[in-house]
A and B are shown apart, each in its own frame.
Chain A
């Protein structure tokens, strides 16, 4: 079926751009490939009928977090020469470790049995803002408030870290 082919191509592109994040030598190129990966994951969300999560993924990840990464990279002014390289042995070891982890996870997944889903009408609309907001402000209102405390803590921490400490420099 044609939907199958679209899903497979999308998955291949996601994995390819994720691999390029790791394998490209220039950090700026890594960030741009990560943005591409996030767009591919967003396309996957749209395929999965999660429209609101898809839009939030673009705004928060590709729009805010990745710009922050790019900003810091530009600020640090890194060149290709001072890009740290790991030794050949370490690279080989990481390839082996990653391959083993993948093998173990896939082998564990093959034995897992997933419950068959009960398809109910109205299921197509769970990714909409109305449904998610309803759930967020009723069932998950406490985690929602706690996450705002986490944000305040992160913001205060970032400001505190970025502040130049006079005694530390001397």
Chain B
């Protein structure tokens, strides 16, 4: 059986552009809204996933696999970023006993 792609059966690419944009904006909104540093890192993951979704959608739309490979590289960067970010957070928590992002302005003075 030949699988038809989603776009051949009438779903528009604009739909996925809108979905990815909304997900990205939710990520940005979360970074501004929350003060918990771990939730901030999670919102960054959300933004990266919005970009991944758009890349995969366009990769399917144009029938080229390059977009899906870029998703892997973004995943690599996200994994590295999460590891280093979380270890920095644990270190800061050890010293300040808090993960409030507003306490992290100590580098200023």
Contacts and interface: CB of A to CB of B under 8 A. Distances in A.
A84 B68 contact: no
Contact of B84 (A34, A131, A158): A158
Interface in B49-69: 49, 52-53, 56-57, 59-66, 68-69
A9 interface: no
A151 B89 CA distance: 19
Contacts of B21: 102, 105-106, 109
A72 B86 contact: yes
A33 B27 CA distance: 13
Interface string B61-97: 1111110110111011111111110111111010000
Nearest to B90: A72
Given A15-B22, A21-B43, A30-B39, A84 B100 contact: yes
A19 B26 CA distance: 7
* Interface residue tally on B, bucketed by range: 35 or more
Interface string B4-48: 111111110111111101111111111011111011011101100
Contacts of A140: 69
Contact of B76 (A30, A47, A150): A150
Contacts of A123: 5, 63
Interface in A105-121: 105-106, 109, 114, 117-120
A4 B90 contact: no
A34 B28 CA distance: 15
A135 B71 CA distance: 13
List of 4 A-B pairs having minimum Cβ-Cβ separation, nearest first: A98-B29, A94-B32, A154-B80, A123-B63
30 contacts: A7-B11, A7-B15, A18-B23, A18-B26, A18-B27, A21-B42, A22-B30, A27-B36, A31-B42, A45-B53, A49-B5, A53-B68, A65-B45, A68-B82, A73-B38, A76-B93, A84-B35, A84-B100, A86-B34, A93-B32, A98-B28, A98-B32, A102-B22, A114-B13, A114-B17, A117-B61, A118-B62, A120-B63, A161-B84, A162-B87
